[in-house]
Chains A and B, each alone.
Chain A
């Protein structure tokens, strides 16, 4: 959520503006955001705060842990995933069946035979919309996303 939207909703919560005024302001903020040029894709040295909203293919997987005693930031190139999945396609089918059985024993029904090299890009593309948020009772916040 953008700072402008937060501010507007805050004003609404405090009763400084009415619901109609808030709607008008939110519409105005939305129109401004739509007319603004899309920001540049994330470079390798930047640490974004959330998933990319540009629609560009994500390049990195981010894991962020905040709110606890330690603050952790991990950035992993998605090229590792891409290369790893391509390597998976080279595994003999008999071995894949054994891996599938082993994964199934741990309660996950993933069929690695279904991962085809041509699907890898689609898979990575769809990671753009993935965001995992875990909030613990102790206040630790874990976020996993791609940008």
Chain B
């Protein structure tokens, strides 16, 4: 089930010399309800589409699997870290 857990928080920090730190903390978890509603609708459409394709004898009827696979890819980005340091700037991107 953990494989289908979308990112919880995206943390972005950028600091440039002589400027204030730009810090963006995106609580993506707050968008989950919207995501779940959209996913439920998309799954419903995908299942109906797959069923129709299967009954019609189409060789490809994996729309539902593709949708779930896409969600799995989205979930897998949790743990991504990017650090860039230069003399005057630093950038941090963390996806939790």
List A residues at the B interface (Cβ < 8 Å).
44, 47, 60, 69-77, 79-80, 82-84, 86-87, 90, 92
Contact B87 A69 (CB under 8 A): yes
**Given A69-B87, A80-B73, CB of A74 within 8 Å of CB of B59:** no
Complex Cα gap A8–B69 (Å)? 51
Q: How far is the CB of B88 from chain A (nearest CB, A)?
A: 10
Min distance, Cβ A80 to any Cβ of chain B, angstroms: 4
Given contacts A80-B76, A92-B59, are A74 and B70 in contact (CB under 8 A)?
no
Whether B82 pairs with A83 at a CB distance below 8 angstroms is: no
Residue of A at shortest CB range from B78? Answer: A77
- Known contacts being A87-B66, A92-B59, is A77 close to B73, with CB within 8 Å? no
Q: Closest CB-CB distance, B12 to chain A, in whole Å?
A: 14
Task: Judge whether B65 is part of the interface by a CB distance below 8 angstroms.
Answer: yes
Q: B81 near A92 (CB under 8 angstroms)?
A: no
5 contacts between A and B (CB under 8 A): A83-B72, A83-B75, A84-B73, A87-B73, A92-B60
What is the minimal beta-carbon distance from A133 to any residue of chain B, in angstroms?
Answer: 20
A65 to B83 alpha-carbon distance, docked (Å): 10
Interface residues of B in 38-96 (CB under 8 A from A): 59-60, 62, 65-66, 69-70, 72-73, 75-87
In the complex formed, the residue of A with least CB distance to B83 is A73
Chain B contacts to A: CB under 8 angstroms = 3, 59-60, 62, 65-66, 69-70, 72-73, 75-87
Question: Which A residues lie within 8 Å of B83 (CB)?
Answer: 71-74
Task: Flag if B65 contacts A90 (CB, 8 Å).
Answer: yes
Interface of B (DSSP majority class): mixed
Q: Which residues of B contact A92 (CB under 8 A)?
A: 59-60
Say yes or no: B81 contacts A83, CB within 8 Å: no
Q: Which secondary structure characterizes the binding site on chain A?
A: mixed
Residue among A83, A84, A86 with the highest chain B CB neighbour number at 10 A: A83
CB pair A70 B84 closer than 8 Å: yes
Chain A residues contacting B70 (CB-CB under 8 Å) are: 87
- Which residues from B are CB-within-8-Å of A82? 76
For A79, the chain B residues whose CB sits under 8 A away are: 3, 75-76, 79
Which of A60, A71, A79, A82 is the most central at the interface, judged by chain B CB atoms within 10 Å of its CB?
Answer: A79
Q: In the assembled complex, which residues on chain A have CB atoms less than 8 Å from the CB atom of B69? A: 83, 86-87, 90
| A53 and B78 alpha carbons, distance in the complex (Å) | 24
